A and B are shown apart, each in its own frame.
Chain A
Amino acid sequence: MKMRFPLIRGAKDYAIMESGCFEDERDQAHLKDAALPANHYKEEHEKEKK
C-alpha cells in the first residue's frame, strides 16, 4: 500500500508553534462523565469522582 502527498516550504520568517494538548489532558479536562472507554484510566477517573 502506498501513500503520497506534497508539502510546501514555510516562509523563512515562519516559526512553528506547538499546538494540541498534552497526553491524557483531554481525558482529565473534558471526558470525565462522557465517552470514556471501559477501564480507560479507570483508577484516576474513580479518584476524581470521589
Chain B
Amino acid sequence: MPGNMWDMGPEEDDEQDEDLTLQLTRVSASPTDDPKVFKVHLESTRGTIEGILHPVEGGTGAVICVGGAMGGFDGPADSLYPRLAGLLAPKGVTTLRIEYRQPNNFEECVIDVMAGCSFMQGIGAEDLVLLGHSFGAAVVIKAGELFPRVRGVAAMSPQLHGTRQVQQLGRPLPAHPRDVRFHPRFRGERGHLPARAGSEADRAVCGHGALARPGEGAD
C-alpha cells in the first residue's frame, strides 16, 4: 500500500495525479461518560471520521492529536492524549483526538487530519497545533504544511517516510490570517504528498518539537 509506514520504496503509481477531495457533509456529537467530553462524528464524502472533543469555551487555540499506524484515540506514553487534554483545558486549549478512517494509509490519514482542522476552524479555532506519533507524526507534518492555521507541529518518534517536505513548516505564518474562512471542502493532489524521506525528519526534531529520535521509541 503506497504511503504506509513499511513501504519505503518509490511512490510512483498510476494514481499519482489524481486529486484527493473531501467534503464534510454532516457533523454530529454524542455524549460520553464525562459531561465535558463529546464524541464527534465528521461525516464526509470519503466516510465518517470519528473524534473525541474536549472543548474549552471561549478558547481559540486547539490541538489535534492522532495516533500511529494502528490508529486509536489515546496515543503513546500511557495514553498521552486524554491526559494532555485535561492538562491543556485550564490553559484554554481545546483538544480533538481523531481516529483515522483508514489507519496506515498515509494520504487518507492526512485528509482526515485536514478535515479535523476544518472542523475546528468551523467551531471557532483560530490557531492550531498538530500532535502525532510515529506514522501519525509524518501525517501531521504533511497536514501542517497544507493547512494555513497550523502554528506548530509536534512529531513524537516520527517515522522517516512521509516527512520529506518538513521544511515547508518553516514558512512565515501571519499571526491571525484574515483571508482564511471556514471551508469544509479542500483539495490535495497525490503528486504533492511526500515521498520517501531521510534527513528531513531530523529537521522536524530541531524545528518542530519532536520528542524522540526518529524511528525510535515507538511506544
Q: Please indicate whether A and B come from the same complex rather than being unrelated chains.
A: no
Task: Give chain B's interface residues, CB within 8 Å of chain A.
Answer: none
Task: Give chain A's interface residues, CB within 8 Å of chain B.
Answer: none
